[in-house]
C-alpha cells in the first residue's frame, strides 16, 4: 500500500493492440490487484496539442475514442479516477514553476524529444510548447504524488527528467515532491509489439495496426495479410519463427487453453514452432489459429466498446467525475508547492 499509480496517453487516435499489450492490459491488471491507495488515468489532450495545435478537433474527438478503448478494456471508474488533462488547470500552473528548474540544454538532450523533433521535421522551428512538454509531464506526475507510472519504453527519458526536476525542487525549496518510477511491461514483445507488416513498431502512420475497434472481418483480413517468413514458400519448406509476425503475436496472445480450443493436435506453442521449423506446416493454418486466438481476446472488448459508444453521456460523466477528484488532489499539491516557494501571500 501507499502506492499512487498514474498513467495516461495522448489522444491522437484510437488505440491498437500494441497499446493493449504494452499498457492497457497491465493497467487493468494493476487496477484489479488493488495494491494502491489511489489510481489515476488521464487523456493528455493538452500535451497532444503541443504538436497538433492546428488540429484541435482531432484531439477532442480522440479523447472520447481513447476513453472508449480504456473503458472497454476494463478500466473501472469506481477504482480509477479517469480525467482530462486540460480540465485540470493546476497542472499548467505547476508547469510554470517547474520551467525554472530545467535548462534548455537539458531539454535538448531528452532522447525522446530529440527523436520526435526529427520525426516531425521541427528542427529549425520547434514550437516552445512542444519543446517543454517534458516539464508539463513532470507536473502530471508530481501533482498526484504518483510513485508508480506504468508506461512504454519511450517514456523512460520523461521519467528521468521528471525525477531530476523533483530532486531540484526538493533541494531548492525543501522536501515537497515525490520521485516516481516507471513500470514497464515484462516481455520485449509486449513493450514494443511489431506491426502486422513486421515493422519494429505498430503505428498509425505506417498503416500496420490492428485497432481495438476493428470489426471481426477487419481483424481477420489483417491477420491473413501478416508478414511471415518470405522463404517459406511451399508447405514442405522449413520455416523461420523469428521475425515471423504470426509467431510473435502467438507468443503474446496464446493462453493456456488456446490449443485445446482451437488447435488440439498440438500441445503447446513450442510444438507448433518445431513443426513449422521442420517443414510441413502451412501459413494458412497458423494464421487461422492466430485469428481464433485474437478474436477471442478482442470480441468482448469490441462489444463493450460498441455499447459504450451509444452512451456518450455516461463516458463524459466518468471523465467529469474523475476530473473533479483530480483537481482536488492537484490543488493540494499546488498549494504545498506555492508554500514551499513562499508565493502564498494571502493566507
Ligand atoms: N507522453 C505520454 C504519451 O505520449 C502521455 C503522458 C503525458 C504521460 N503525461 C504523462 C504518461 C504522465 C505518463 C505520465 O503517451
pLDDT tens digit sequence for 34-55 = 999 999 999 999 999 999 999 9
Lowest pLDDT segment from 151-160, 162-171, 255-264: 151-160
What CA–CA distance (Å, rounded) separates 270 from 254? 12
283-339 pLDDT, tens digit per residue, is: 999 999 999 999 999 999 999 999 999 999 999 999 999 999 999 999 999 999 999
pLDDT at 10 (0 to 100)? 97
What CA–CA distance (Å, rounded) separates 36 from 34? 6
Whether 130 has a pLDDT exceeding 70, the answer reads yes
Whether 256 has a pLDDT exceeding 80, the answer reads yes
Q: Measured in Å, how far apart are the chain's first and last C-alpha atoms?
A: 33
Residue nearest to atom 15 of ligand 1 (CA): 9
User: What's the gap in Å between 149 CA and the centre of ligand 1?
Assistant: 9
Which numbered atom of ligand 1 lies nearest the CA of 146?
A: 14
73-107 pLDDT, tens digit per residue, is: 999 999 999 999 999 999 999 999 999 999 999 99
Which numbered atom of ligand 1 lies nearest the CA of 136?
A: 9
Residue 292 to residues 109, 116, 224, 255, Cα–Cα distance (Å): 45, 37, 12, 12
Q: Quote the mean pLDDT of the chain.
A: 96
**Is 140 near ligand 1, meaning CB less than 6 Å away?**
yes
Which numbered atom of ligand 1 lies nearest the CA of 9?
A: 15
161 and 110 in contact (C-beta within 8 Å)? yes
**Is 116 near ligand 1, meaning CB less than 6 Å away?**
no
What CA–CA distance (Å, rounded) separates 81 from 140? 14
272-286 pLDDT, tens digit per residue, is: 999 999 999 999 999
Which one-letter DSSP state was computed for residue 41?
A: E
Confidence of residue 119 (pLDDT cuts 50, 70, 90): confident
Between CA 319 and CA 326, with CA 322 as vertex, the angle to 5 degrees is 130
**Is 45 near ligand 1, meaning CB less than 6 Å away?**
no
pLDDT at 42 (0 to 100)? 98
What CA–CA distance (Å, rounded) separates 194 from 249? 9
166-215 pLDDT, tens digit per residue, is: 999 999 999 999 999 999 988 888 888 999 999 988 988 899 999 999 99
User: What's the gap in Å between 311 CA and the centre of ligand 1?
Assistant: 27
User: What's the gap in Å between 6 CA and the centre of ligand 1?
Assistant: 9
User: What's the gap in Å between 133 CA and the centre of ligand 1?
Assistant: 10
What CA–CA distance (Å, rounded) separates 221 from 223? 6
**Is 162 near ligand 1, meaning CB less than 6 Å away?**
no
pLDDT at 1 (0 to 100)? 60
Those residues with Cβ within 8 angstroms of residue 260's Cβ, 6 or more apart along the chain or in another chain? none
Amino acid at each position: 500500500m501507499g502506492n499512487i499509480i498514474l498513467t495516461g496517453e495522448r489522444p491522437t487516435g484510437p488505440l491498437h493492440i500494441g497499446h493493449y499489450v504494452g499498457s492497457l492490459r497491465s493497467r487493468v491488471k494493476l487496477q484489479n490487484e488493488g495494491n494502491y491507495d489511489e489510481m489515476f488515468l488521464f487523456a493528455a489532450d493538452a500535451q497532444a496539442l503541443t504538436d497538433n495545435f492546428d488540429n484541435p478537433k482531432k484531439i477532442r474527438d480522440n479523447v472520447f475514442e481513447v476513453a472508449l478503448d480504456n473503458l472497454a478494456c476494463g478500466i473501472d471508474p469506481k477504482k480509477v479516477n479517469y480525467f482530462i488533462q486540460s480540465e485540470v488547470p493546476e497542472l499548467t500552473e505547476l508547469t510554470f514553476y517547474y520551467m525554472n528548474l530545467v535548462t534548455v540544454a537539458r531539454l535538448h538532450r531528452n532522447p525522446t524529444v530529440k527523436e520526435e523533433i526529427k520525426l516531425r521535421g521541427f528542427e529549425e522551428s520547434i514550437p516552445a510548447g512542444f519543446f517543454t512538454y517534458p516539464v508539463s509531464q513532470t507536473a502530471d506526475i508530481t501533482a498526484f504524488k504518483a510513485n508508480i507510472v506504468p508506461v512504454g519504453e519511450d517514456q523512460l527519458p520523461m521519467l528521468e527528467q521528471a525525477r531530476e526536476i523533483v530532486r531540484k525542487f526538493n533541494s531548492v525549496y525543501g522536501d515537497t515532491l515525490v520521485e516516481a518510477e516507471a513500470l514497464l511491461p515484462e516481455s520485449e514483445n509486449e513493450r514494443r509489439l511489431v506491426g502486422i507488416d513486421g515493422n519494429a513498431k505498430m503505428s498509425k502512420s505506417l498503416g500496420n495496426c490492428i485497432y481495438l475497434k476493428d470489426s471481426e472481418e477487419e481483424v481477420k483480413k489483417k491477420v491473413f495479410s501478416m508478414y511471415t517468413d518470405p522463404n517459406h514458400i511451399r508447405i514442405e519448406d522449413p520455416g523461420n519463427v523469428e521475425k515471423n509476425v504470426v509467431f510473435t503475436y502467438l507468443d503474446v496472445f496464446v493462453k493456456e487453453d488456446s490449443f485445446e480450443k482451437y488447435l488440439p493436435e498440438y500441445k503447446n506453442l513450442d510444438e507448433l514452432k518445431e513443426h513449422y521449423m521442420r517443414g510441413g506446416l502451412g501459413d494458412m493454418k497458423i494464421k487461422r489459429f492466430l485469428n481464433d486466438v485474437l478474436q477471442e481476446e478482442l470480441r468482448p472488448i469490441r462489444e463493450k466498446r460498441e455499447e459504450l459508444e451509444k452512451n456518450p453521456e455516461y463516458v463524459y460523466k466518468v471523465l467529469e467525475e474523475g476530473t473533479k477528484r483530480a483537481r482536488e488532489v492537484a490543488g493540494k499539491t499546488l498549494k504545498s508547492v506555492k508554500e514551499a516557494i513562499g508565493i502564498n501571500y494571502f493566507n
